[in-house]
Structure 1
Amino acid sequence: MSPRRADPRVREALVGIAARVLASEGPRALTTRRLAREAGCSTMAVYTNFDGMAGLVRAMVYEGFARLDRHFGRVRPGADPVADVALMGRAYRRNALANPHLYAVMFGAASLAGFSLTDDDRQHGRYTMVGLIESVRRSVEARRFRASDPVMVAHHMWSAVHGIVTLELGAYLVSPYEADDCFETQLSSLMVAPVTGGRPRRAPWPPLGRRSTRCSARPTTGPRTWETPLARRRAATRPRTAAGRSPLPEAR
């Protein structure tokens, strides 16, 4: 008898169901029988597609960051790097609101059912910040942000946006502190920086709800702080531009 082949549709369904169960009911509810019943497949599908529950949990984390990366990828670098940073902040929030269960799992807000991520797993997530770091670097070079380490600035922004989005998903932002207003206020405070003459200035990014038309391309140059064998493998599999170069930084 030939071995069973993994079905991409079943795999996607199992990842979504597992993330929802894990985030809403906890690790004790995450069983192969429960997953098989809701996905309409056999319990063997978990092993065929993921080699077991540990592989399924890892797949949830990877899928969560893959979706975040796709949202970031829709922000194409424009003439104003500070506006790019703001648009990436909104992309981060849109991804979280669209994928709340995966968001809870990928950052550990939901228990990982006894499974521990490796540093290589976390590197998979950190690599999604490359585009943000590049936009921050351009903002510093344009003297829109204070002269500082772009990676550290990106970490501060990531922490701030992640915090307010997590509060929103937990339903802690209520009237009169509505989620939209709180998020935009937080984003504005992060974008204010000294320019020539020492006067603060806010980036003129599109108003909330207006979809940016700058999409799909990623920076072709930028910091290589988080490049690892995993990151290089991911970069090697990304689509190439017309010039034959990867939209993401090339590995050395």
Structure 2
Amino acid sequence: MTEERVRDGSVAGGIPERLIDAAVTLMATEGPSAIKARTVAAAAGMSTMVVYNYFGGVPELLNAVVDHGFDQIGDAFAKLDVTDDPIADLFAMALTTLAYARANPHLYDAMFGLSTRATYRPTDKGVRLAGHSPAFNAAYAHVTGACTRLAGRGPMSITDPIAVAGALWSFVHGYVTLELANHFTEFEDPVRQVLLPMGVTFCTGLGAEREAALRSHEHALGRVPLPAA
């Protein structure tokens, strides 16, 4: 079965989606080690062979689960208003990503191939690198699009918006990874004390005026509610 058919909710009454939902739930409650063909099938009320019939194996099922996560982040990005302030828009996406990671730490780890919780690694046979996922690329397009808009803004000097998007993506996910691993316990409010200043510094390094960048970041904080860390 092709990936497109697996992700098509019309296939066989949505059996693939039921399996994906069961895997996501197991990952959230028991961690990636619970993702086995028999456990996922049992949670979905199906036979183990259904997993192999529809996905080929557990690594392919995990690919679908990871795609599910990127689809959700992409949907969340799409729901954010596109404003005339791309700095605020980008920080709103950063906060949206953080909110998703806080609510789905095991899935986030699997999506980004982290070792703290994930069992199946991106280098394992059958587990696709995130950059080859259409779902990832669709979500990431919101980031590159905002960076492209940023390139034409005021005093900012940006000749390669794609490189800026990569740098931004790197520092945001670096922060998220450290926060999920409880590395900011010394801060009362690490988002305001660490992530926001880092974002402002990033933008001023590109030529933005510091006070304007700070206002944009503060505005974004009011747009995205964050669940407790």
Query: Normalising to structure 2: TM-score of the pair?
Result: 0.74
Kindly indicate whether the alpha-carbon contact (under 8 Å) linking 2:200 and 2:210 is maintained by their aligned counterparts in 1. Answer: no
Is residue 129 of structure 1 aligned with residue 134 of structure 2? no
Distance across 1 between alignment mates of 2:17 and 2:138: 26
Q: For the residues of structure 2 that align with 1:95 and 1:144, how far apart are their CA atoms? A: 32
Paired amino acid for 2:107: L
1:15 to 23, 27, 30: 23
Q: Answer yes or no: is the 8 Å Cα contact 2:77–2:96 preserved in 1.
A: yes
Deviations 1:84-124 (A, max 9, x none): 12212112212222222221111111232633315873454
Aligned to 2:187, what secondary structure does the other structure show?
A: coil
Do the aligned partners of residues 139 and 9 (structure 1) sit closer, same or farther apart at CA in structure 2, a change above 3 Å counting?
closer
Distance 1:135 1:144 in 2: 16
Q: Deviations over 1:57-107 (max 9, x none)?
A: 110121111111012112222122222122121122122222222211111
* Root-mean-square deviation over aligned CA pairs: 3.0
Q: 1:194 — aligned with what?
A: 207
The aligned residue for residue 163 of structure 2 is: 152
**Offset from partner CA, 1:153-174 (integer Å, 9 cap, x none):** 1100000000000111111210
CA contact (8 A) 2:20 2:65 kept: no
Q: Distance in 2 between matches of 1:200 and 1:189?
A: 8
| Partner SS for 1:77 | coil
TM-score (norm 1): 0.68
Residues 37 and 104 (structure 1 numbering): CA distance in 2 closer, same or farther, change over 3 Å?
same
In the TM superposition, structure 1's runs of 4+ consecutive aligned residues that sit over 6 Å from their partners are none
SS of alignment partner, residue 162 of structure 2: helix
Alignment-derived partner of residue 76 in structure 2: 71
Distance 1:32 1:15 in 2: 9
Runs of 5+ consecutive residues of structure 2 not aligned to the other structure: 1-11, 225-229
Alpha-carbon deviations, 1:201-224, whole Å to 9, x = none? 433234575236xxxxxxxxxxxx
**Deviations 1:6-62 (CA, angstroms, capped at 9, x unpaired):** 43662342230453478x354xx5322222344443323323443332320110121
Structure 2 CA distance for partners of 1:59 and 1:18, relative to 1, 3 Å: farther
Is the 8 Å Cα contact of residues 102 and 180 (structure 2) preserved in structure 1?
yes
Aligned residues: 204
Unmatched 5+ stretches in structure 1? 213-252
- The match for 1:116 is 127
CA shift at 1:143, angstroms? 2.6
The residue number in structure 2 matching 1:244 is none
Equivalent position of 1:60 in the other structure: 65
The question of 1:184 aligning with 2:192 is answered no
The answer to whether the Cα contact below 8 Å between 1:132 and 1:154 also exists between their aligned partners in 2 is: yes
Counterpart position of 1:50: 55
Which structure has the highest helix share of the two?
A: 2
Cα distance change on mapping 1:81 and 1:207 into 2, 3 Å: closer
Q: Say which one has the larger Rg.
A: 1
